[in-house]
Structure 1
């Protein structure tokens, strides 16, 4: 494999590893937010930002953790026929299906970028009583899609290496 491919794979996997490990701790942030929500409701002074912030944090946890999950191979796969295939056939199938994934993520990224641009231009806010600006949240979604696309290309390069009988 060319050196640029090896460098790309190592760089993207190092980045997604760090982002994924950070995202793991967002679960504790969600728990803290929900505990705070329970406490404020118990003392009859509910904070109006807690539910929406917990939802935003959960989406960040899910989307930023997805490339890391893909990197570890812990994503869900329909395994009826796949497990019976030889590693080379699996790599060929994966190389074929990763193009569908990249196309899907590209469409999602396009929509996310359009939505983020709109949110910045208009100063879009949530319709809740808290009314936070939405552009920081939408920017995080765009970043997560970019990381996922980068990780999909890592998988493609690894599949190509397997098909060529090489190792990255």
Structure 2
């Protein structure tokens, strides 16, 4: 687990290599992404309604994660905004400082996780005071591909968050 955490921090540090002032200025201009934008051309996402709830006495949800069939590199190093739901990984005080951004409520918790190319590992220098798993958020920051694994799921993307706000269109 320590190596996974070290690898994640290395990926995020590479994404966050711009000076803070430059990143903050860039955060005002971003590319709006939707979850389908993270899929290779021609691939469709697994709709949440198709993913059945599981018996928690069975194998863990990560063992039931569908295989990912590639990633998109179009937005590597770009400032993006993507909506989603927070699955906390690390806390700093009472705020979340690292989390998995997922496309629907309950992903990675109550249902098998989506494929890795439908998950984004997010870190933030300022912990976000989340109101819970049902809160939809918009995350803005530097985006890139990353191959990492947590106890909950394999993840194909990473985002160094500059701004996290409650979801709005």
Which has the higher Rg, Structure 1 or Structure 2?
1
- Normalising by structure 2, we get a TM-score of 0.27
Which protein has greater RCO, CA pairs closer than 8 Å, 6+ apart? 1
Q: Please state which structure has a larger fraction of its residues in strand.
A: 2
- Normalising by structure 1, we get a TM-score of 0.28
Q: Please state which structure has a larger fraction of its residues in helix.
A: 1
